[in-house]
Amino acid sequence: MRKKQLLAYLKDACPGRRYTVKGAELEQVLHLSGTDLRKLVNRLRQDGVPICSSRNGYFYARTAGEIYTTILQLQAMVRGLEAAIRGLESALEYFGEPREAPAGLPRSGTGGEEGGV
């Protein structure tokens, strides 16, 4: 139900980058936490809904260019997360731990968490 509310709001009130809405405003209007908002945006995107974002907030895409810009932004985030993982894996050497995850723990990149951007 909340996915439908978020989608309806963005589609009606935020068509295109020109009508970007801040995450904090969406949280307030839809009575969501920041975490829940990001999870919903992520799920909608996974469903193929063209929800875009910028430093200024979220909006419903009106052009392919808006979607492509968001894709580039998400790819940069992925590279940053991968670099952080590599750094943390190398930090394991300080603790005398192997770089591979101990048995029973997921390897990096396979946790299946729902992050949101």
Q: What is the mean pLDDT of the chain?
A: 88
Report whether pLDDT(28) > 80. Answer: yes
Q: What is the pLDDT of residues 91-116, one digit of tens each?
A: 988 887 666 766 666 655 544 444 44
In the chain, the DSSP E strands lie at 51-54, 57-60
Please report, for the chain, the start and end positions of each structural domain, with discontinuous segments joined by +. 2-95
Q: Hey, which CATH number is domain 2-95, 3.40.950.10, 1.10.3720.10, 2.130.10.10, 1.10.10.10?
A: 1.10.10.10
Q: Quick one: average pLDDT of 45-67?
A: 97
Classified as helix, coil or strand, 15 is: strand
Question: In this structure, are residues 2 and 40 in contact, taking their beta carbons and an 8 Å threshold?
Answer: yes
Mean pLDDT of 24-44: 96
Q: Has residue 6 got a pLDDT over 70?
A: yes
Predicted TM-score of the model (pTM): 0.77
